[in-house]
Amino acid sequence: MKKSIQIQGYTFTSLISENNISERVQQLAEQINNDYAGEEIVLLITLKGAILFAADLMRNLDLELTVETIIAKSYGKKLTSNGDVQIIENINKFSGKHIIIIEDIIDTGNTINALTKKLFDYYPASIEICSLILKPESNTSGISVKYVGFEIEPKFVIGYGMDFNEFGRNLKDIYIIED
């Protein structure tokens, strides 16, 4: 039986268990370890949603790496992206570096697309994207995501770092909103 919870007057049902998340994170780390063997990388963590995913991923990487954070958001206090992307951080230190952007979720792709375009202004050696969640039906930006944890339908999710009005980030499972 699936678990249900209430957050801010909405009902959410468990979608992806803590165990499934852990297993998939280990698989993604193995893929990144293989792809970047012998390379130094920069993990650029998008705040706040990707914190838990990034921490678990990093613990499974056997690479020389540095960590940077950035705030790039488009949701505000709604269930859908408003399309207005804000990038809040100094990103001028990436020249010649292999960057892997660690993202919690890619919906329309507009936020990650804007961030990627901005990063290219600083001449990195490469940029790849690692997202825990991808909503392929909603991804209208055409952005390519090399490392994907899970593909889901275009519904709002919370848990494992992802929130609704800052609530639900601490949940161990990922939950989807009920219709």
State how many domains the chain has: 1
> Beta strands 40-47 and 98-106: pairing type?
parallel
Q: Taking the CA of residue 35 as centre, how many other CA atoms within 13 Å lie in the half-sphere pointing to its CB?
A: 18
13-70 pLDDT, tens per residue? 999 999 999 999 999 999 999 999 999 999 999 989 999 999 999 999 999 999 999 8
- Residue 152's alpha-carbon distances to 9, 30, 110, 132, 176, in angstroms, are 23, 22, 17, 10, 10
Residues 6+ positions from 90 with CB-CB distance below 8 Å: none
Q: What is the pLDDT of residue 86?
A: 56
CB 133 within 8 A of CB 147: no
Instruction: In the chain, count H helices and then E strands.
Output: 3, 10
Q: Which of 56, 104, 107, 163 is catalytic?
A: 107
Q: What is the pLDDT of residue 31?
A: 98
CATH number of the domain enclosing 173: 3.40.50.2020
**CA–CA distance, 104 with 161 (Å, rounded to integer):** 7
Q: Is pLDDT of 167 > 80?
A: yes
72-120 pLDDT, tens per residue? 655 555 555 555 555 545 566 788 999 999 999 999 999 899 889 888 8
Q: What is the pLDDT of residue 2?
A: 81
Q: What is the pLDDT of residue 70?
A: 87
Residue span of the structural domain in which 112 resides: 4-177
Provide the residue type at 68 as one letter. Answer: E
Residue 56 among the catalytic residues:
no
pLDDT tier at 136, thresholds 50, 70, 90: very high
> Of 165 and 118, which is predicted with more confidence?
165
